[in-house]
Amino acid sequence: MSEPGSPMTAAHAHPLFLDEAEVRARLHMPDLIEAMQKALVDFSAARVEQPVRTVLRYGDDPSLFGLMPCYVSSLPALGAKLVTLVAANAARNLDTHQAVIVMLDPVTGIVKAILDGRYITEARTAAVSAVSARLLARRDARVLGILGSGVQARSHLEALRLVHDLREVRVWSPTAHRRQKFAEETGAQAMESAEAVVRGADVVVTVTASPTPVVQDDWVGEGTHLIAVGACVPTQRELDPALVARARLIVDSRAAALKEAGDVVMGIAEGRWTADHISAELGELPTRRDEREITVFKSLGLAVEDVFAADLAIRSSESS
């Protein structure tokens, strides 16, 4: 509320609003990949203020509601994402993830912009995965395997094609007509099993809602880079723990991974490894040690990624 007698600023009266179509028009994947690398570097260098997200479970399913604030002095930018994960939305023909991002003036605290966050979440997640593949996949990686056929599968294919010269793309998901539709629309090859996707693939992406492992250790050959995007709660995991144990493990945030990532914390609870099994954060820009190394990037998603992406969209709108 304005103080008595004080004028309401234009920014306060008329914050910028960007719906999904406008966000899509202003965010281009090549630019987003570079922005995400900068965001991750700033995060790992402790140049941002960001707590681990607050997550509220609600309803009978249950659904999840997350709050993700962040301040980035280098931009400068201040904002927060409000995000929900509602599994029942799939049956409603709605995206399971919904989000809005609120950007504030870092000097006054006044609302600067409100952006649809669903597409930002989709695109920035894939862009971060592309950063991981650019750093950690073998340079001659040509075969991509995708487990999942939703929006994240599509955005990951778009992003990963920008960092590697893919000659073959395989996809599997539990619902036959969905994986077939994905294949027809993207040129990927629909496979009859997760194993058929993974064996012989150079890069494997898991973008599933499965609470239990969808990739088994003995399917994965030397030199593979795996990107685990699903299983964002501590009681679920997408990867066989034996695979995680023999791989070099990279995360976006150590603090978040040790609190939220079932692929990490369940293995610790079972005595398979300790927190020291995390080799690096992606923002530390780790690179492949040799051609035989198996690397796993566990992606949870960070508020700094959303703030960088939203800032990029706002700047694009201001220059157009």
Report whether 103 contacts 77 (CB < 8 A).
yes
- Residue 118 CA: distances (Å) to CA of 169, 176, 285: 25, 26, 27
Output Rg (C-alpha) for the chain, integer angstroms. Answer: 20
User: Helices marked H in the chain — which ranges?
Assistant: 10-13, 20-26, 29-44, 118-136, 151-160, 176-186, 194-198, 241-246, 254-260, 262-269, 303-319
How far is it, in rounded angstroms, from Cα 61 to Cα 68?
22
Torsion sign (Cα): 45, 84, 298, 161: negative
Phi, then psi, of 52 in degrees rounded to 5: -65, 140
User: Distance between alpha carbon 37 and the CA centroid of its chain, in Å?
Assistant: 13
Q: What domains, with CATH codes, occur in the chain? A: 10-120+304-319 (3.30.1780.10), 138-301 (3.40.50.720)
Report whether 35 contacts 312 (CB < 8 A).
yes
- pLDDT at 272 (0 to 100): 97
What's the distance, Cα to Cα, between the start and end of the chain in Å? Answer: 31
User: Distance between alpha carbon 132 and the CA centroid of its chain, in Å?
Assistant: 11
Regarding pTM above 0.75, the answer is yes
> pLDDT in tens for each of the 320 residues of the chain?
444 444 444 445 689 999 999 999 999 999 999 999 999 999 999 999 999 999 999 998 889 999 999 999 999 999 999 999 898 998 898 888 899 999 999 999 999 999 999 999 999 999 999 999 999 999 999 999 999 999 999 999 999 999 999 999 999 999 999 999 999 999 999 999 999 999 999 999 999 989 999 999 999 999 999 999 998 889 999 999 999 999 999 999 999 999 999 999 999 999 999 999 999 999 999 999 999 999 999 999 999 999 999 999 999 877 76
Buried residues in 148-178 as b, exposed as e (16+ CB within 10 A): bbbbbbbbbbebbebbbebeebbbbbeeeeb
How far is it, in rounded angstroms, from Cα 185 to Cα 173?
15
